[in-house]
Structure 1
């Protein structure tokens, strides 16, 4: 591995503007690589709003608000071309397929490898979320898939956050396992940590003595299984009337989920808290008795799982994807039998009434400190970059020698 690398990376949006797993990961990843001594430039789309971001983060929107999708793609391309000439990176590291669409292999110097962070299959996620199968929707899905395939063909290697996404990348896009590095996500454990006075914090959040608090932080889309969790609350609220569920996040299903809450008569037990800032998110994690991750498909890592555990809060989750990989290392008892409302209610009730035991709060945090801290993960990412740089150098040496032999 090279001691110091110049890294040019592209993300999506700034996490303080639009919270989400990829955006949070990208911001933390950039900071971690800088702290490891690497020279980093991260390009994001801030749409002209003040970022309040570190100097190594650049807004490709160039102070132009409300960019269309294609204008955003072109802006990322111009940004990559400009910074590639100025900073002469050792590696190009895209984190979202669409925004790397115009950056071809010939757009970069021949010695610069493309190491793609695969955060999920864009086309498959759209397929899960789209309702109906109109011709226009099917054409859009096909376009997304072809775009992903073209970008992945250009990549020298990949980083995925779980074995599950390694398998998705291989099966759906034909990428050889030898080109894929499985390196899990990580958490800022200085920010996500247990509360100094949890009782006082619960009082500040309006949690009365004796109430049991569940927290779920998810984007409000179908694959997150929020409707299953809300339906599980019918049984849970009957057995434990003092139980409360706070759902943090926003998305296209907010109206539908609010209607579901009201139709089930759960207004006194379930609240949609909407989008919150990082500090408030930490407070809800710290105050919760349990964090719930009800995702039904395409969970590549589950940053929320590691964040809640870092705050000392036990997490119960579905036995799928990255959630399963994180939780089963701590205790298989933290996994629901499946993603159904019945399985969710059964497990939560068993833990709350003491029939089953969740790990102690200090054990939850220790699990994150052992496996999911940025000081460890950044070293592994740098190793993957270094390997790609050396491989491209060897490839170019071979190509040069082969061409010389033909002269």
Structure 2
């Protein structure tokens, strides 16, 4: 099957959950035997990407959001004319919004990957509801609705996102398919020599190492985790939290660390390489996912588990759906600092259940692999193609 997919950025150029998924997804679909073409933007800069990935810009230039969206439209149109795919597969509403239904031949189904409510995420990050924010929210919501109304089927990573898509965007439930994401199990795997790795990272012998890999933005709850560390360090003095990631809140979070007197117990690593991300997962005793809202899946959760490192997380969205299958004791009661601290302390002192490293790895191998995901997605694409062959006429009414 020939698949034309539009994404957002390329993972080696612009880190992020959607970009990581897009890269791994296309690799898995190609390995399954499909012919794939993926459109992204890295602002025309050189990227280390497979031959099936194309930047929509031909030369390095910084364009406005509207100009980038137009570039996606032009490149998608050219690809559709050059060789018609069996399926058109958008992954980001904004960059696919100008690829109209009349550009995609009627016999080609549009199957959209829904990675989250873009407008709602922006509203959470704005942390307010002034007039300008309301206008921006509605504009983004309209772009999403415009993109989604032309889709035949949708793929989501969790029941949580399925509920958002049906409730907030008016998409019928029968058009939405849940296919959980997956880590690269060859890359995210337990360390051959964990103690040697910990020494190489400069970790103190006997230290209890916590690790969180998150964008430093409001909805990720990193501020709550930092506040929780005061109680954690009081109860377990040898505990150190390392936070990988960057974002608008980095300065604020560093100020919070200093104000709490946690300079020796909480370290902001900034953006880390893909290789170092694996090393930190492998070295940590626990990974922490403190997201407050809109956690559609939690790729970081299954990446850590694949490395053998247990995860503690907030009881919301995709994090809850993953961890409660492994053990409900891995979930905080809520996202408040006191709840986060209590669960971390009980995990560290052995008073609550924490699965072993082998059990964590086996849980991922049994439930979250790209082999399983690619097979499920292939089935959805085949269903969509067969419906078109039978002459099914699809109209979405979500506006």
TM-score category of the 2 structures, normalised to the smaller one: over 0.9
| Number of equivalent positions | 395
| Deviations 1:227-281 (CA, angstroms, capped at 9, x unpaired) | 0100000101111221100011111111111111111011100011111111100
In the other structure, the counterpart of 1:343 is: 339
In the other structure, the counterpart of 1:47 is: 43
| Cα shift at 1:208 | 0.8
CA contact (8 A) 2:152 2:394 kept: no
Cα RMSD for the two superposed structures: 1.3
| Cα shift at 1:116 | 0.4
Q: Could you tell me how far apart the structure 2 residues matched to 1:341 and 1:134 are?
A: 28
| Cα shift at 1:64 | 3.2
In the other structure, the counterpart of 2:295 is: 299
| Cα shift at 1:19 | 1.2
| Cα shift at 1:357 | 2.2
SS in 2 for 1:362: helix
In the other structure, the counterpart of 2:145 is: 149
Q: Could you tell me how far apart the structure 1 residues matched to 2:119 and 2:105 are?
A: 29
Q: Could you tell me how far apart the structure 2 residues matched to 1:6 and 1:168 are?
A: 29
In the other structure, the counterpart of 1:260 is: 256
Residue 197 of structure 2 corresponds to residue 197 of structure 1:
no
Task: Select 1:364's aligned residue among 360, 363, 367.
Answer: 360
For structure 2, which runs of at least 5 residues remain unmatched after alignment?
A: none
Task: Select 1:276's aligned residue among 256, 272, 279.
Answer: 272
Residue 69 of structure 2 corresponds to residue 81 of structure 1:
no
In the other structure, the counterpart of 2:168 is: 172
| Cα shift at 1:389 | 1.1
Task: Select 1:333's aligned residue among 329, 332, 347.
Answer: 329
| Cα shift at 1:398 | 11
TM-score, normalised to structure 2, is: 0.97
63-72 vs 74-83, which moves further: 63-72
| Cα shift at 1:133 | 2.8
| Deviations 1:23-49 (CA, angstroms, capped at 9, x unpaired) | 000000000000000000000001111
Residue 58 of structure 2 corresponds to residue 33 of structure 1:
no
Q: Could you tell me how far apart the structure 2 residues matched to 1:395 and 1:214 are?
A: 55
In the other structure, the counterpart of 2:312 is: 316
Q: Could you tell me how far apart the structure 1 residues matched to 2:149 and 2:393 are?
A: 21
CA contact (8 A) 1:61 1:67 kept: no
Q: Could you tell me how far apart the structure 2 residues matched to 1:196 and 1:387 are?
A: 42
Q: Could you tell me how far apart the structure 2 residues matched to 1:213 and 1:269 are?
A: 10
In the other structure, the counterpart of 1:211 is: 207
365-374 vs 127-136, which moves further: 127-136
Residue 64 of structure 2 corresponds to residue 68 of structure 1:
yes
In the other structure, the counterpart of 1:402 is: none
In the other structure, the counterpart of 1:24 is: 20
Task: Select 1:393's aligned residue among 378, 389, 396.
Answer: 389
**CA 1:134/1:14 → structure 2, altered by over 3 Å: closer, same or farther?**
same
| Cα shift at 1:85 | 1.1
| Cα shift at 1:150 | 1.2
Q: Could you tell me how far apart the structure 1 residues matched to 2:173 and 2:308 are?
A: 35
CA contact (8 A) 2:215 2:247 kept: yes
| Cα shift at 1:138 | 1.3
SS in 2 for 1:154: coil
CA contact (8 A) 1:111 1:396 kept: no
In the other structure, the counterpart of 1:405 is: none
| Cα shift at 1:140 | 1.0
For structure 1, which runs of at least 5 residues remain unmatched after alignment?
A: 400-407
Q: Could you tell me how far apart the structure 1 residues matched to 2:32 and 2:391 are?
A: 28
Residue 238 of structure 2 corresponds to residue 242 of structure 1:
yes
Q: Could you tell me how far apart the structure 1 residues matched to 2:129 and 2:288 are?
A: 31
TM-score, normalised to structure 1, is: 0.95
Q: Could you tell me how far apart the structure 1 residues matched to 2:218 and 2:193 are?
A: 36
In the other structure, the counterpart of 2:218 is: 222
106-115 vs 307-316, which moves further: 106-115
In the other structure, the counterpart of 1:185 is: 181
| Cα shift at 1:395 | 2.5
Task: Select 2:8's aligned residue among 7, 12, 32.
Answer: 12
| Deviations 1:82-117 (CA, angstroms, capped at 9, x unpaired) | 111112101010000000010111111111111000
| Cα shift at 1:397 | 8.7
Residue 388 of structure 2 corresponds to residue 373 of structure 1:
no
CA contact (8 A) 2:160 2:317 kept: yes
